[in-house]
Amino acid sequence: MLLTNLSQVLTRNDDLLHASSTLLVNMPQDNFADHLKQLSQNSDITFFDTQYDAHLFHQSFSYANAVFSSCYKSEHLHDLVIMTFPKSKAELNFILAMLSESLTEDARILVVGENKSGIKSLHKLTQSYHQFVEKIDAARHCLLFEMAITTLPKFTLEDWYKTYHITINNQSCTIAALPGVFSQNGLDKGTKVLFNYLPSNLSGQVLDFGTGAGVIATYLGKSNPNIALTLADVSALALASAEKTLSLNGLTGKLIATDSLSAISSQYDHVVTNPPFHQGTKTHYAATETFLAGINRHIKPEGSLTVVANSFLKYQPIMEKCFMNVSVLGIQQGFTVYSARGKSRLSS
């Protein structure tokens, strides 16, 4: 497998990559780890991913440890951390604070990112955390920085949740979200529109796919006390946020980490989703299109799918190939809400 541009920039700086214990944080899905292993045969390598698809890929490296979690902790200290600049700037200090207790005193931290990712502001964003930040290299439209961080207070995940309150159709909900989680700062427009068209009097098994902080599931759970909730997302930070949100609202649900439909196996009476279509700074449709093309296999014969999406996204033709009945429930503020029922024979 070819190395991504991010990894190619790193391999231009092999002198910085020698270590006894390396932690790779949210790194691209390529073979950069093989390059590290060739440089230091005796080095321990650990992957830490907050995205489940990346975790599944990194699990294939038999010589490395692979951790998928919202919070990384290790008694074994690392002397080298290599991390990609996160898609959300709010996530940056969260990750650095989290890792601080798992580093040796002289640990080297390398941060790599695309020029347009926001990495140019690394020095400013980490000014309360770093001892120094130095640009090391620039190539292939990417930047590489080295930095060291100061001694920080003990990291506690609870300190990083941001909470806010919403009232929808007379239902009051408390939402908790970690940095980088969709809708961390408030209810997004798409979900606001979706709330106007959600099916009423739900019963049975309900799946909130791409749950984020659990906003949709929480509203459904409080409005329909007899349903059994399942919340699915690719992000460990989202799942931790959704679990916290459920708890704050006196609800329970099953949480599933999944790459699109990879871990979805049950049959549901209703599936509701405001699917993401951005991956970092890029527009990315593949995961949602795969979901729409396959979710009918997980909906009971009399069940339904309700989707809200930006109106410019061409999701309706995909749904019409998989469901017998697809209708538009409403269009507001640039978003369209779709309802789908009945498995199409063409999709069997």
User: What pLDDT is stored for residue 347 in this prediction?
Assistant: 52
For residues 288 and 307, give the distance between their C-alpha atoms in angstroms, rounded to a whole number: 11
Q: Does a structural domain hold residue 194?
A: yes
Co-location of 99 and 206 in the same domain: no
Nearest to 42 by CA among 27, 22, 57, 56: 22
Whether 313 and 177 map to the same domain: the answer is yes
- 137 with 286, same domain: the answer is no
Could you say which of 149, 181, 207 is where a domain stops?
149
Considering the domain architecture, whether residues 196 and 69 belong to the same structural domain is answered as: no
In a domain, 154, yes or no: no
99 falls within a domain: yes
56 shares a domain with 102? yes
Q: At what angle do helices 215-223 and 236-248 cross, to 10 degrees?
A: 30
240 in a domain, yes or no?
Answer: yes
In a domain, 265, yes or no: yes
State which of 130, 149, 168 marks the end of a domain.
149
Domain boundary among 97, 120, 149: 149
Report CA-CA distances (Å) from 203 to 5, 97, 275, 293.
48, 42, 22, 24
Whole-prediction pTM: 0.94
- The vertex-196 CA angle with 191 and 202, nearest 5°, equals 95
Range of 267's domain?
160-347
Which tens digit of pLDDT belongs to each residue from 252-294? 999 999 999 999 999 999 999 998 764 443 445 677 888 998 9
Helix H, strand E, coil C: the string for the chain is CCCCHHHHHHHCCHHHCCCCEEEEECCCCCCHHHHHHHHCCCCEEEEEECEHHHHHHHCCCCCCEEEECCCCCCCCCEEEEEEECCCCHHHHHHHHHHHHHHEEEEEEEEEEEEHHHCHHHHHHHCCCCEEEEEEEEEECCEEEEEEEECCCCCCCHHHHCEEEEEEECCEEEEEEECCCCCCCCCCCHHHHHHHCCCCCCCCCEEEEECCCCCHHHHHHHHHCCCCEEEEEECEHHHHHHHHHHHHHCCCCCEEEECCCCCCCCCCEEEEEECCCCEECCEECCHHHHHHHHHHHHHEEEEEEEEEEEECCCCCHHHHHHHEEEEEEEEEECCEEEEEEEEECHHHC
Q: Are residues 75 and 31 in the same domain?
A: yes
One domain, residues 78 and 201? no
Confirm whether 155 is domain-assigned. Answer: no
Q: Are residues 38 and 119 in the same domain?
A: yes
Are 119 and 227 in a shared domain? no
Stretches in the chain below the pLDDT threshold 70:
1, 277-285, 344-348
Q: Residue 284 has what pLDDT?
A: 55
Query: Is 176 a member of any domain?
Result: yes
In a domain, 31, yes or no: yes
Residue 281's pLDDT is 38
Q: Are residues 109 and 223 in the same domain?
A: no
Counted domains in the chain: 2
Which residues are CB-neighbours of 303 under 8 A, at least 6 positions away?
204, 267, 268, 269, 270, 271, 341
- What is the Cα–Cα distance from 234 to 165, expressed in whole angstroms? 25
Specify the CATH number for the domain of residue 30: 3.40.50.150
Judge if 144 and 176 occupy the same domain: no
In this structure, are 206 and 294 located in the same domain? Answer: yes
